[in-house]
Structure 1
């Protein structure tokens, strides 16, 4: 039995999502060709708050093509709250009613659009009680509930949280896969997600996470980044840092009323990322030379920009895109796009490579900032960077 509890092989969240996407696309081709398919049942396991749900939503794209159900009975998930635990028969009826009601719209849309894959994402299914787990396993393995089969183009994915020991010296990672019988376990494809700082920073650059957060974490060593991105708090309320909590903290940092008030800022930081990370981040905010995006756009200063660390340059390139786009859309333009383009001529190849990868190669620039994309692509200097990216496979 000891061998069964050895540490699993971990992969990044991006790798897991790519595997699911490629496999789903292949399965859809088989379905549309009328060939029999044996769907793979993927279950994502990771520490809480690393972005499984957000990642799945972004992979799918269209919100009509996905239904996310939270099976977090311990903390009152979307299905747990209406379920009153009475006798088994009544409980069964309530659970099935809640599940069927939740997936009704997804099922209807999948029937209307049979050539497009749709996804039912069962979040934190291993938090539910035993009856709930049995019901969810039927959905995962058989694509159906009693009396309610899902269309062939609906793919069911599960997600569960592991014990908080992935970064410790322990070899055992607790999860429900080891508790399943052999026949059931053989039908599930568990994917164990390791928190990778680079993957999260790439996502943060592309999704406008506050530049202070990106700079603070991006400037640290690899081991420090891992500790900052996941640092369960020792405080009584359980508050601690996760990728999700850092992202949520960003919304506070965009509010000048909070950011410029020491008392409010401290309260916001501690409420999101706990005491340990909070103290470090507050020290950075109050003693460091903060990255002022608008100052660099309104008063171009190549010397100051050159003196920035690689992490701060990368944070600037990500965070400045929104004001550049807004400026291009305004009637009284201030020339932000040209200033941004000039900063792109930096000799910091690492910062340029990260920008080209996270914003250009991924299509983020074209999709989210179309005016900026058009402006930049009219300039030979930018197109030279694009060509170099293609040649060097940045």
Structure 2
């Protein structure tokens, strides 16, 4: 197994998405120019819960340009269900194929907007039953379904788990998948996605994952981060930790009734990330070492802020934006925006650079926190940071 793992070309999710985006844009140019093209069919393989579906959605942007189908949840053949039909005039029997409603909607939109790429994303593509296997292969290899061809500007992407565990050192991980034959594997472009903690943390900073989560994970070493973000269950019916489960844990932490009740909190944490990660996280929460966003906003303390680790500064910058925005929208403002701006003058260039990248450069600050964005941009100190970011990106 170790030898097999060395033979895989592991890449990050961001690298995979860039490859798909650049290749799709090029293929669309060829299609619009009327030149024959052999579209590539990419299949993303990774551990569960690393963000493949979310990443594809963000790459596409417009929800009308993507259709996500969870093959594992579909009944056999239901992507294009055969329906018997008798022509009344000729009394001839025919078999028509009723297209899945979501795919039909994508197809119709792609026909109306032929210059824009559209995506059919088949999640868990190799977990469908045997009746669906042929349908999936036809989609991946020929860009069509029984009785229904897809427009040239619809690109099919697959995602799933490998038949063997090549992503971690766990000895036994049973992946109940339909293995691809040699001919099929030769016609797809497999991309093997390795979990990269920095990429997940940058995503978490930009998507309001709970400050306790990003602080707890962000303050660890690289190897510790990987072990925390993905820790498989040690039993068939147990709970493990994945990037997805850490993200979902935020909803529990946002509920004071759960967060302030030790029994409920323990149950919630264990249900999301399992016993091992859960014990570590609960220790962090209950030892008084957790990051208090509101304490730093209500009683500014530059010395205390300066003493924070880079990960903690980043957790503060990303998690404080929501209360800062809410304060600016309220009639009785408490000055959170000015305090936040003062903290941005830290000498920790790594924390500043990651804040500017995840919140400003990506447009998150302008889109989600418009009042905060306007306030900060009125200050020359912040605009200096923006200018430095632009210079560094040249």
TM-score by length of 1: 0.89
Contact 1:122 1:156 in 2 (8 A): yes
Aligned residues: 394
Change in 2 beyond 3 A, CA 1:96/1:272: farther
Change in 2 beyond 3 A, CA 1:203/1:77: farther
Q: Which moved more, 1:172-181 or 1:23-32?
A: 172-181
Tell me how far 1:378 sits from its aligned partner. 1.7
Q: Equivalents in 1 of 2:274, 2:77: separation in Å?
A: 23
Tell me how far 1:176 sits from its aligned partner. 11
Q: Which moved more, 1:291-300 or 1:376-385?
A: 291-300
Change in 2 beyond 3 A, CA 1:53/1:84: farther
- Residue by residue over 1:316-355, the C-alpha shift from the partner in whole angstroms, topping out at 9 and shown as x without a partner, is 1001111222222333332221111101011112211111
Contact 2:69 2:123 in 1 (8 A): yes
Tell me how far 1:133 sits from its aligned partner. 1.9
Change in 2 beyond 3 A, CA 1:96/1:155: farther
Change in 2 beyond 3 A, CA 1:35/1:269: same
Contact 1:12 1:193 in 2 (8 A): yes
Q: Which moved more, 1:241-250 or 1:27-36?
A: 27-36
- Residue by residue over 1:164-200, the C-alpha shift from the partner in whole angstroms, topping out at 9 and shown as x without a partner, is 8445458999999995444432321110000011111
Tell me how far 1:283 sits from its aligned partner. 0.6
Q: Equivalents in 2 of 1:279, 1:289: separation in Å?
A: 15
Q: Equivalents in 2 of 1:91, 1:120: separation in Å?
A: 37
Where does structure 1 lack aligned partners over 5 or more consecutive residues?
Answer: none
Contact 1:235 1:275 in 2 (8 A): no
Tell me how far 1:12 sits from its aligned partner. 0.5
Tell me how far 1:390 sits from its aligned partner. 2.9
- DSSP-derived class of the 2:120 partner: strand
Tell me how far 1:106 sits from its aligned partner. 0.9
Change in 2 beyond 3 A, CA 1:156/1:341: same
Change in 2 beyond 3 A, CA 1:170/1:217: closer
Tell me how far 1:101 sits from its aligned partner. 2.7
* Residue 161 (structure 2) aligns with: 161
TM-score by length of 2: 0.89
Contact 1:122 1:158 in 2 (8 A): yes
Task: Name the Cα RMSD after superposition.
Answer: 4.7
Change in 2 beyond 3 A, CA 1:20/1:93: farther
Change in 2 beyond 3 A, CA 1:258/1:169: closer
Contact 1:324 1:336 in 2 (8 A): yes
Contact 1:162 1:173 in 2 (8 A): no
Change in 2 beyond 3 A, CA 1:247/1:2: closer
Change in 2 beyond 3 A, CA 1:270/1:5: closer
